[in-house]
Chain A
């Protein structure tokens, strides 16, 4: 196989147009779309997708999502396998309820019989609703991932501030994000220490004796300890924040989005959303 000039062993075709492995990949078109217009454009598309009732529009929705995905530079085949697994894991979380409804509705809801085997009957109305829920759900999940993966959190919060979300709520989100990793690490450390001291989960709620008598009180005391530690820490953190001038200026400076291409993209997205809405109304 052909090797690159630096001799790294990475095939040239996988590196695309990059001339050097150390250079960062140029941002995709979706990354360059400024946060405020991007939030407005993608939210308009999400609103239109979530309102679609006609099955004939689902392929069009999926074509739009595929187009945006290809512009984002985030296809699964171009990212590392670890990220791929993460993506599938993320898909499993919202997919549980959607999959449950898709499995139940075709056999439970509606009156028009398509197929019958004993007491099991496949009905058209339920099948239509299941396809609608599944199609819309996957498209919306992909759009959400596009928005969150291509916009840094601080820029996203600044864009939300420009949209009128209260400063207090955004500051709460920003501070929570800062503490999440630390709290998760502290919880993990407490659990590891408990295991080293000999604690093991003794039962399950199926056999509630040991679980309810021993495991649950222990977990409650652990959560209580974490709350007390975090409360004490929050006092110190707050004093430090005040000393550094917290509260005297907004955390998220609002920079005007003047990029005409970003606003043109937003106008296109909003126009597409309106067209979809009208087409759906006409088809129903």
Chain B
């Protein structure tokens, strides 16, 4: 689910870089305030310390989790006549919180480097397609955890994460193909195609939701610290 180079017109991919720059900057700014409380020693409340060391505290863990998600997203499930692979952006969102967006940027960059998935001009828009639903999924999980329990809220986070990503992906591709000036593809045909493609991805939403739910229930039993909130002031 990566948009390749050459498909999008310049305003779309430049806009994608703009969105990604804004959200990444905001995520990193949030990260600088993780866990800073009045109980912290005075040097840990110093803005210069906060700006450097405290956010670096999170990086090795985030890097390892990014690498794990990169590896785990290579799991292919047979779906004849083809196969589908897990996206796991919802799971990233609920585990990494605000750091999910920069982690997705990095993960997508390495997918370009290693496999040629996506492209350098479309890195920004691809990050927005995966990252915005990841942030939303993190919010759903944190908000619903106490009300619905970890399993159900993780299912919703996983399903919404991939569902919204699919919607954004095909929406952007259709926006590139539907050309209002030259009338290459009518908006009605575009909407019909978009609807059909989203419905075709409903099984993936269910699978991702179940997968996220099972992973979260496993972690809750084995290592609950991994489900802590990132990016919470």
Residues of A participating in the B interface, judged by any CB pair closer than 8 Å = 43, 46-47, 49-51, 53, 90-91, 93-95, 97-98, 101, 105, 108-111, 125-126, 129, 132-141, 144-145, 147-148, 153, 166, 168-169, 171-173, 175-180, 182-184, 187, 201, 204-206, 211-212, 215-217, 219-221, 223-228, 230-231, 233-235, 237-238, 241, 246-247
Contacts and interface: CB of A to CB of B under 8 A. Distances in A.
B182 interface: yes
Chain B interface, DSSP helix/strand/loop, else mixed: helix
Contacts of B144: none
A183 B68 contact: yes
B141 interface: no
A176 B107 contact: yes
Given A172-B62, A176-B67, A220 B211 contact: yes
Size range of the chain B interface in the assembly: 35 or more
B199 interface: no
* Secondary structure type dominating chain A contacts: helix
Contact of B207 (A111, A216, A247): A216
B121 to A, nearest CB: 5
A91 to B, nearest CB: 7
A179 B63 contact: yes
B223 A230 contact: no
Contacts, number: 238
B7 to A, nearest CB: 5
A238 B219 contact: no
B177 interface: yes
21 contacts: A46-B5, A50-B8, A91-B116, A94-B2, A97-B7, A108-B189, A111-B183, A140-B5, A140-B119, A144-B116, A168-B59, A169-B28, A172-B62, A173-B109, A204-B80, A224-B214, A227-B95, A228-B222, A230-B64, A231-B64, A237-B64
